[in-house]
Amino acid sequence: MRIVVIGGTGLIGSKVVEKLTEHGHEAVVAVPKTGVNTLTGAGLAEVMKGTDVVVDVSNSPSFEADAVMEFFRTSTTNVLAAEAEAGVGHHVALSVVGTERLPDSGYFRAKIAQEELIEKSAIPYSLVHATQFYEFVQAIADAADDGGTVRIAPVAFRPMAAEDVAKAVGRTAVGTPLNGRIDIAGPQEYQMDEFFRRALKAHSDPRDVVTDPHAKYFGAELAERTLVPAGDATFGDLTYGDWAGLTPAGK
């Protein structure tokens, strides 16, 4: 298969490209540096020629509400139009578990808008909803920093490794379009404040984690199970302890 990966040099995209290539597929990286700009449309018509599947794992460079909405609306509209013109048979997009439950967040409103564009298009599609990545734990803590303390809500939290996200996206890309979504999550569920308390301590981060039921996550308050799958889900293999090198061999 020829599979174009929008955002193919990023954390997830680079891993998706690697895995697809290992399995004998032609994985084409589509980013501005390779001549493809989804915001202007430059290079899209050319890269779509002969393409079977498009995987979109791109992300907005800004999380400011208006900017992120503009990014996902413009980029997704341009990509879908180019796919339709080229006869692409499957569009795969990476999104976030709980997106529809976080309308107070500008970022998640933009992801909802992106998904609606995909669902309304005539192109067969698959949405992959993932929980938070281990690789973003530090960034989440920094976003929750309140003058040297980290304020985290005591809610369910099931993060996963980017490696497992990429595996799921790759499997979805080479499969039959779902015309729906799948949820993917990490192998272990935690209470979010306790997870961050232990994670920061393990990495010698001196900040205290304060349990705050009203702590906001990217602009929105969280209910008990906002960030974890509500129904069926596929779970990754790599635990946080193994990923971070915190679990002794054989344990």
Q: Domains of the chain: which residue ranges?
A: 2-243
**What confidence score (pLDDT) does residue 250 get?**
38
Does residue 65 surpass a pLDDT of 70? yes
Average pLDDT on 92-117 reads 94
105 or 126, which is more confident? 126
The model's pLDDT over 227-242, given as tens digits with 9 standing for 90+, comes to 999 989 999 999 999 9
Tell me the C-alpha to C-alpha distance, in Å, between residue 213 and each of 154, 223, 225, 249: 6, 9, 13, 36
Q: What whole-number percentage of the chain has pLDDT above 90?
A: 91
Range 151-157 average pLDDT = 97
What gap in Å lies between CA 6 and CA 46, rounded to an integer? 14
Q: What is the mean pLDDT of residues 192-218?
A: 94
pLDDT greater than 70 at residue 249? no
Q: Are the beta carbons of 44 and 93 closer than 8 angstroms?
A: no
41: pLDDT strictly greater than 70: yes
CB atoms within 10 A of CB 75: 24
- Range 2-243 classified under CATH 3.40.50.720: yes
The closest of 155, 146, 109, 131 to 233, measured between CA atoms, is: 131
DSSP 78: H
pLDDT at position 108 is: 93
pLDDT in tens, 209-224: 999 999 999 888 999 9
Closest CA to 55 of 99, 115, 8: 8
Give the whole-angstrom CA distance, residue 43 versus residue 32. 9
What is the model's pLDDT at position 251? 39
Q: What confidence category does residue 170 fall into, taking pLDDT thresholds of 50, 70 and 90?
A: very high
